[in-house]
Amino acid sequence: MEKGWSLEQKTLITEIIQGMELAKQLRAHLNATSSVETRDMLVQSILSSYEKALLILNRGGSMGQPQNAGISVGVPESPISINRSPGSDDFDGSVKDNQGYNEASKKRKTTPIVADQVRVSTENGLEAHHDDGYSWRKYGQKDILGAKYPRSYYRCTYRNTQNCQATKQVQRSDEDPTVLEIKYRGTHNCARGNQSIPSPEKREKKQKNTNSNCQQQQSQQALFDFHNSAGVNTEHLDTKEEMVSPFSFPSTYGCTASVGPFISLATAEPTRHSVSPFQMNNFAGVQNLQYLESDFTEIISANTSATNSPIVDLGFSLDQVELSPDFPFDSPGFFS
C-alpha cells in the first residue's frame, strides 16, 4: 500500500494534500485582510482538489463499473455532487428498469441534470457555440416560455449506434446572451465517452469525421477546441487547467458530458457577472456544474464552490506540496 502506489494513487494523495494546503491557506486568509475573492478561490480550489481525489478514488474503487468509468464523484458530502447516484442508473441505457419507463419516449425526463454555463464569444454573431469534445446531434428546438432565446436539444451522435443516452440542452441566457446555459443529461456510453467501447459494428465509415477523433480528442485537444470555439475566456485559467487536466482528461474526459472538462473550462468569468438566479449557484466561477433534479428544486446550493470568485492565481503549484509519507491515508475515517 505504501510502496506500490500507482501513479493514480500518488495523484490522489497529491490532491488531498493539496486540499489540505489550500485549507491552510484559506485559514490564513481568514485572519488576514485578504479579499473575498481570494478566499472564494481557495475554497474553490479545495473543493476541486477533493473532488479530483474522490474522482480518482471512485475510479479506482469501482473498476468493475465501466459504464460510469470516470464519472462519478458520488460523494454525498461533495458540494458539487457530481453524478449523484439516483441518476446514474437512469441513464445507462441499459438500466431502464425504473418503473419500466422507457427513456426514449417523449416523457419528460426527471433524471438529474448537470447544469453548466459557458460564456461564449458573440463577437462574431450570436451563433457562437461551444464544443465540449463530444459529437452532438440536434434533435429539436423550442421556444421556452419567458425566455428570449430558444432552447436547443442535442443528443449524442452515437445514440443509435452505441446506445449513448447523453443529451444536452443549450439555451442562451436571457440576461447575458454571451452565456450559454447548458444542461447535460445522462452519461456517455459511446466510445467517445467511454474509451473502452471499441464500437464493434458497422459505423466504421462515417466515424471518420466523428468517432475517429473520439479517442484522441479526449486529450487536451478537446480542451483547446473548447476554449477556442467557445471563446471561453480562459485568461485566468492556467492554474485551473493544470490542476484539473492531469487526470481528468487522459482517461475520463469522455465519460461524462460534464465532469472532466467543464470543471475548469467554464470557469472563465473573471469579472462581472450579472448573475442570473440560476447562475447564482453555479456559474460563478469555477465549478459551474451541478446536478439538478428537475428544474432547480434541488439546486445543490450547498455548492460552496459557487461563489462569484474571480479566478486568481493560486500562488502555488503541486510542486510545492510535499508528500508526507507518514500521512495516515489508510486510516479508515480519513475521508469521512
Partner DNA sequence: CCCATTTGACCCTA
Partner DNA sequence: TAGGGTCAAATGGG
Of 201, 203, 165, nearest to 184 by C-alpha is: 165
Nearest approach, Cβ of residue 109 and DNA (Å):
5
User: Binding string to DNA for residues 205 to 234, with x set by CB under 7 A, is what?
Assistant: xx---x------------------------
Nearest approach, Cβ of residue 102 and DNA (Å):
9
Using the rule CB under 7 A, is 185 a contact of DNA?
A: yes
Using the rule CB under 7 A, is 142 a contact of DNA?
A: yes
Q: Distance (Å, rounded) from C-alpha 40 to C-alpha 269?
A: 14
Using the rule CB under 7 A, is 153 a contact of DNA?
A: yes
Using the rule CB under 7 A, is 135 a contact of DNA?
A: yes
Using the rule CB under 7 A, is 137 a contact of DNA?
A: yes
User: Binding string to DNA for residues 86 to 115, with x set by CB under 7 A, is what?
Assistant: ---------------x--xxxxxxx-----
Q: Distance (Å, rounded) from C-alpha 92 to C-alpha 120?
A: 30
Q: Which of 58, 167, 252, 267 binds DNA (CB under 7 A)?
A: 167
Q: Which is nearer to DNA, 29 or 137 (CB)?
A: 137
Cell output for 114: 448537470
**Total residues at interface with DNA (CB under 7 A):** 31
Q: Which of 9, 62, 122, 141 binds DNA (CB under 7 A)?
A: 141
Task: List C-alpha distances in Å: 269 to 9, 119, 201, 299.
Answer: 32, 7, 43, 21
Q: Which is nearer to DNA, 1 or 145 (CB)?
A: 145
Q: Which is nearer to DNA, 104 or 323 (CB)?
A: 104
Phi, psi of 116 (to 5 degrees): -145, 155
SS (H, E, C) 265-291: HCCCCCCCCCCCCCHHHHCCCCCCEEE
Alpha helix stretches (DSSP H) within 116-195? 159-162
Using DSSP's 3-state secondary structure scheme, residue 212 falls into helix
Nearest approach, Cβ of residue 162 and DNA (Å):
13
Beginning with the edge strand found earlier in the chain, give each strand of the sheet holding 151-156 in spatial order: 136-142, 151-156, 167-172, 179-185, 113-119, 289-292
By CB under 7 A, name the binding residues for DNA.
Answer: 101, 104-110, 135-142, 144-146, 151-153, 155, 157, 167, 169, 185, 205-206, 210, 294
